[in-house]
C-alpha cells in the first residue's frame, strides 16, 4: 500500500511536501538516528521514521511553535486556536481584526498566537522586522485556519511528540548525536534562488558562498565518519548554475538524483530554457 504522507500545518515556504515521495525513495531504510538540519515546517521530519529524530532550524520563532505543539494535548491546542479566532474575530476579510491581533502578538509574543496569526497572513510567511516584530501583511481572501489546516495540524501533532528540537546555526550544531550508519537530511536555503528566509534581513544571517562551502565541509566530515546524508538543492535556475555544488559532488563522487516538479507550466518551461529550474537530491550512499 502507498504510504500516506502528512502535510505540516505550517504551509512553510520552500517546504518539501510536494516532492516528499521522490526524496524519501532515496532515504536509507531502518534509520536509527535522523537529523533534519534545516527543518522549516518539518514536512520531512514528520514523514520519516527513525528511532531518534532531531530537527534544527535557526528560525526560533518557528521552532518555538513546534515545541508548544509538543507540550499540549490536541484538544487544548485546537481549543486555544478556536478561542483566539473567536475572541479577535479573525476571518479572511477583516484586515483590522488581523492588525489588532498582530499588534497584540508583538506585545505579548506567545508562540501559539504566532501560529494563529500566521494562518491569516499573506502566503503564511514568517516575516519579522529588525526589532523581531512580526510584520507579514494580511492574507486577504486567501489565508485562514481552514478545515485542511486543522486536519493537517491534528495529524502532525502525533508525529511531532518525540522530536528533539534545536535552533542552532548549522555551523554550531552538535553533530556528535550522529554515529556511523545514522542519517542527516539537509535542505538549506538555495544559493541561486531566493526565499524570504535567506536574504539576511529578518534578524537571521543570510545565505551566501561561505555558508554553501561551510555546509559542504560539514557533509564531507560526516561522510568521512560513515554517516549517511541526503542534500536537497537547486543546481540550475533561470539560466544560473550552482557551480560550487556541481564541482563538489563530482569531486567527492556523491550521487545526484533528479527531482521532477512542475513549478509553473511545464510545456512552456520546456520551450524556454531561461525558465528551467533543476531540483536535485545528492546522497553519499
Ligand atoms: C528550504 S527551507 C527548509 C524547508 C523544510 N525542509 C520544509 O520541508 O519545510 C531552509 C531553512 O533553513 C533555515 N536556515 C537558514 N539559514 C540557516 C542557518 N545558518 N542555520 C540553520 N538553519 C538555517 C531557514 O530558517 C529555513 O527554514
Percent of the chain with pLDDT over 90: 83
9 lines ligand 1 (CB under 6 A): no
DSSP 29-72: SSEEEEEETT-TT-HHHHT--EEEEEEE-S-HHHHHHHHHHHHS
What distance in angstroms lies between residue 44's CA and the mean position of ligand 1's atoms? 12
- Whether residue 211 is found in the same domain as residue 265: yes
Left if phi > 0, otherwise alpha if psi is -120 to 50, otherwise beta: which for 181?
A: left
- Whether residue 30 is found in the same domain as residue 103: no
CATH code of the domain in which 120 resides: 1.10.1020.10
139 lines ligand 1 (CB under 6 A): no
- Whether residue 124 is found in the same domain as residue 30: no
Does 4 map to a domain? Answer: no
Which residue among 158, 177, 210 closes a domain?
158
What distance in angstroms lies between residue 205's CA and the mean position of ligand 1's atoms? 11
- Whether residue 30 is found in the same domain as residue 93: no
Nearest protein Cα to ligand 1, atom 7: 15
Tell me what pLDDT residue 130 has.
86
Tell me what pLDDT residue 255 has.
98
Show the domain range for 229: 17-58+167-283
- Whether residue 146 is found in the same domain as residue 238: no
DSSP 127-147: -B-TTS-B---B-TTT----H
Three-state DSSP class for residue 118: helix
Percent of the chain with pLDDT over 70: 91
What distance in angstroms lies between residue 96's CA and the mean position of ligand 1's atoms? 31
- Whether residue 219 is found in the same domain as residue 260: yes
CATH code of the domain in which 234 resides: 3.40.50.150
Does 1 map to a domain? Answer: no
12 lines ligand 1 (CB under 6 A): yes
Report the C-alpha gap between 235 and 248 in whole angstroms. Answer: 12
What distance in angstroms lies between residue 211's CA and the mean position of ligand 1's atoms? 12
DSSP H/E element including 218: helix 209-224
As a whole number, mean pLDDT of residues 128-146 equals 94
What distance in angstroms lies between residue 8's CA and the mean position of ligand 1's atoms? 15
Taking 60 as the threshold, does the pLDDT of residue 201 lie above it? no
Which residue among 158, 181, 196 closes a domain?
158
111 lines ligand 1 (CB under 6 A): no
Number of domains in the chain: 2
- Whether residue 181 is found in the same domain as residue 270: yes
Taking 70 as the threshold, does the pLDDT of residue 199 lie above it? no
Closest to 65 in 3D by CA, of 119, 35, 125, 110: 110
Nearest protein Cα to ligand 1, atom 20: 169
DSSP H/E element including 255: strand 255-259
Taking 80 as the threshold, does the pLDDT of residue 74 lie above it? yes
Tell me what pLDDT residue 13 has.
87
Three-state DSSP class for residue 77: helix
Taking 70 as the threshold, does the pLDDT of residue 35 lie above it? yes
- Whether residue 69 is found in the same domain as residue 172: no
Q: List, for residues 117-135, the tens digit of each pLDDT value.
A: 999 999 999 899 988 899 9
- In this prediction the pTM is 0.93
Which residue among 126, 158, 190 closes a domain?
158
Does 149 map to a domain? Answer: yes
Q: List, for residues 256-273, the tens digit of each pLDDT value.
A: 999 987 655 455 445 566
Nearest protein Cα to ligand 1, atom 27: 40
Given pLDDT bands bounded at 50, 70 and 90, which one contains residue 136? very high
Amino acid at each position: 500500500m502507498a504510504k500516506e504522507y502528512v502535510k505540516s500545518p505550517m504551509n512553510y515556504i520552500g517546504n518539501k511536501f510536494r516532492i516528499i515521495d521522490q526524496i524519501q525513495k532515496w532515504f536509507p531504510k531502518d534509520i536509527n538516528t535522523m537529523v533534519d538540519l534545516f527543518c522549516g515546517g518539518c514536512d520531512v521530519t514528520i514523514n520519516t521514521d527513525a528511532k531518534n529524530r532531531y530537527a534544527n532550524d535557526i528560525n526560533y520563532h518557528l521552532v518555538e511553535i513546534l515545541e508548544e505543539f509538543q507540550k499540549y494535548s490536541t484538544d487544548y491546542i485546537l481549543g486555544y486556536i478556536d478561542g483566539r479566532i473567536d475572541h479577535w474575530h479573525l476571518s479572511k476579510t477583516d484586515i483590522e481584526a488581523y492588525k489588532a491581533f498582530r499588534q497584540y502578538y508583538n506585545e505579548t509574543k506567545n508562540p501559539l498566537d504566532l501560529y494563529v496569526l500566521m494562518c491569516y497572513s499573506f502566503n503564511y510567511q514568517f516575516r519579522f522586522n529588525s526589532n523581531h516584530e512580526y510584520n507579514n501583511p494580511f492574507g486577504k481572501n486567501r489565508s485562514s485556519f481552514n478545515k485542511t489546516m486543522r486536519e493537517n495540524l491534528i495529524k502532525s501533532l502525533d508525529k511531532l511528540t518525540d522530536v528533539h528540537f534545536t535552533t542552532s546555526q548549522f555551523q554550531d550544531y552538535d553533530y556528535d548525536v550522529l554515529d556511523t550508519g545514522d542519517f542527516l537530511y539537509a535542505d538549506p536555503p538555495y544559493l541561486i534562488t531566493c526565499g524570504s528566509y535567506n536574504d539576511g534581513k529578518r534578524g537571521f544571517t543570510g545565505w551566501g558562498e561561505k555558508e554553501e562551502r561551510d555546509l559542504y565541509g560539514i557533509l564531507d566530515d560526516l561522510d568521512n565518519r560513515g554517516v549517511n546524508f541526503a542534500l536537497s538543492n537547486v543546481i540550475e535556475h533561470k539560466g544560473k548554475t550552482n557551480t560550487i555544488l556541481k564541482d563538489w559532488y563530482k569531486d567527492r563522487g556523491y550521487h545526484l538524483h533528479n527531482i521532477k516538479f512542475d513549478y509553473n507550466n511545464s510545456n512552456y518551461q520546456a520551450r524556454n530554457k531561461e525558465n528551467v529550474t533543476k531540483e536535485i537530491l545528492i546522497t553519499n550512499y
